[in-house]
Amino acid sequence: MRIAELSRRSATSIPSIKYYLREGLIPGGRTTGRNQADYDEAHVRRLRLIRALVDVGGLSIAAVRDVLAAVDNPDLPGHDLLGIAHHAVSPTPARRDPDDPRWQAAREEVVTLIGERGWLVSPCSPALDVAADAIAAMRALDQADLLSSLPTYVEAVERMAAWEVAAVLARGEPARMVEGLVTGTILGEILIGALRRLAQEAESARLQGLTAPE
């Protein structure tokens, strides 16, 4: 297909495609004439993956390059591939003081919590630090009573993860797995957050005995 069709099929603008070609993120097409090249399905799939990484994951071009290298490495186990994609979509928040004993205590609490649950997680997982950030902030703001819902959270995310990881691994193809992990993690977070707010509203209405208008 010509670049115009590639653009349409991948929902990526022609200037963006040319930029990714220059950056070496997608291979060149088969030359069919002066200033003309032919592209195939592999180009469409690769552009869709790049779009998910950039638009949804918010990755820099350098970070996209690292993820694509992992996708293209046939010797990489699936678990490591998912780990690389996870790391890539986990930015470090601006405010964090790892020397603060209250932050360290919160992190230790997270490690203990997931250890009791039998979760096997790398000690370098950025999500460990993010969970500690949230717990330390809740305590600092005198909201520790809300942390009574931690066991409910742990049980809930375990059920979610069982579905999600199975759905992603079922895809088989590494590029599609990474695409699913990135979009599922980030868009899933937005979706779960929105559903949780709706559930809170419904629960508040229920407790106060409100009923739907006739």
Q: How many CB atoms lie within 10 A of CB 36?
A: 11
Return the number of the residue (26 or 179) whose C-beta is nearest its own copies: 179
Return the number of the residue (71 or 168) whose C-beta is nearest its own copies: 168
> Minimal distance in Å, beta carbon 67 to its own copies?
16
125 CB-near residues (< 8 Å, 6+ apart): 86
> Minimal distance in Å, beta carbon 60 to its own copies?
19
- Say if CB 189 and CB 86 are below 8 A apart: no
Q: Which two tokens stand for residue 26?
A: 């997608």
> Minimal distance in Å, beta carbon 133 to its own copies?
7
> Distance between CA atoms of 82 and 63, rounded to whole angstroms?
14
> Minimal distance in Å, beta carbon 87 to its own copies?
10
Return the number of the residue (3 or 48) whose C-beta is nearest its own copies: 48
- DSSP assignment of 29-68 equals -EEEETTEEE--HHHHHHHHHHHIIIIIT---HHHHHHHH
Return the number of the residue (33 or 101) whose C-beta is nearest its own copies: 101
